[in-house]
Amino acid sequence: MKNSIKLFNTDCLNTMKELKDDTVDLIVTDPPYNLGNFMKERATNLKQMRPNSFYSAGWDDLCYQDWLNNMDVFFEQASRIIRKGGSMIVFMSLIKTESVIKLAQKHGFYYKTTGIWHKTNPMPRNMNLHFINSVEGWIYFTYETHTGTFNNDSKVMHDFVESSLTPKNEKKYGSHPTQKPEKIIQHFVELLSEENETILDPFMGSGTTGVVSRRLNRNFIGIELNEDYFDIALKRISDVKAEEKCTLKVVHG
Ligand SMILES: C[S@@+](CC[C@H](N)C(=O)[O-])C[C@H]1O[C@@H](n2cnc3c(N)ncnc32)[C@H](O)[C@@H]1O
């Protein structure tokens, strides 16, 4: 069976409106956490931040209400596109999890779990002044049902996942400031979907969800606004060696 990969270099808030109803089995996505203004307002020393940091990337500094409005459109469209019983993982900073849960529930998603990704080797910045930031959150939902695919093979699944920061060999086509390790995304794709099902990541960044989906013989729809990140994603996904052949459709906005 041939898998299908569709990649859009467009704004997902528009492109999602064009995707068909009930056609996606799993959404794994990592939207902007919108922490740029928060960091600036609390006088974080931005000069010391890496130039490639998400604080200065330009997509992470909306006012809170604009960010909420965008997330509302995202969940509205996600609820239309995902099938009943499908699952969704949304990565998010811990201080924003309640906002995300409320919006997702408004659009028919059933809240299951808030979990943690723990990074085992975070930057020890100002380590004698405060706790080192080593975690990000993820939120697990099902759509219109209380359970979904859960391939745990009778093993206990904890609500935290752990890995080192994204390794260099996953950045060979360029670097994204908030690139997730393939190992973490693979955990969710294997657990929450089956082969030949369709995975959507509307905030695809450097394409990590696409790389994993392709490798695991899933269909994939990825959307990314930024041209440079999109190019990295296209190269990474095209590079994957998978058992199944695939068709690749690329749309530029
Ligand atoms: C947190 S990053 C995702 C990183 C990704 N998980 C990875 O491993 O590379 C969020 C991405 O969403 C993109 N983005 C922000 N707003 C968007 C929009 N309206 N439509 C599509 N992409 C958007 C940003 O350019 C950024 O690359």
- Domain boundaries along the sequence of the chain: 3-252
Distance CA(172)–CA(153), nearest Å, equals 34
Please report the pLDDT score of residue 5 as a whole number. Answer: 98
DSSP, res 11: -
90-106 confidence digits (pLDDT tens)? 999 999 999 999 999 99
> What is the Cα Rg of the chain in Å?
18
Enumerate residues lining ligand 1, CB below 6 A: 11-13, 30, 32, 59, 176, 178-180, 203, 205-206, 208, 223-226, 229
The upper half-sphere exposure of residue 236, i.e. CA atoms within 13 Å in the direction of its Cβ, equals 29
Residue 242 C-alpha to ligand 1 middle, in angstroms?
A: 25
- Asked whether residue 49 carries a pLDDT value surpassing 80, the answer given is no
Q: Answer for the pair 179, 206: CB distance below 8 angstroms, yes or no.
A: yes
Which atom belonging to ligand 1 lies closest to the Cα atom of 201?
A: 6
Just give the CATH number of 3-252: 3.40.50.150
Q: Read off the tokens for 233.
A: 């994603």
The upper half-sphere exposure of residue 18, i.e. CA atoms within 13 Å in the direction of its Cβ, equals 12
Distance CA(142)–CA(180), nearest Å, equals 22
Q: Among residues 188, 185, 182, 174, which one has the least CA distance to residue 234?
A: 174
Q: Answer for the pair 8, 247: CB distance below 8 angstroms, yes or no.
A: no
Residue 154 C-alpha to ligand 1 middle, in angstroms?
A: 34
- Asked whether residue 88 carries a pLDDT value surpassing 80, the answer given is yes
122-165 confidence digits (pLDDT tens)? 999 889 999 999 999 999 999 999 999 999 999 999 999 999 99
pTM for the whole thing? 0.94
Distance CA(210)–CA(216), nearest Å, equals 10
Token pair 């930031």 is at which residue?
133
Distance set, CA 92 to CA 71, 138, 232 (Å): 12, 6, 22
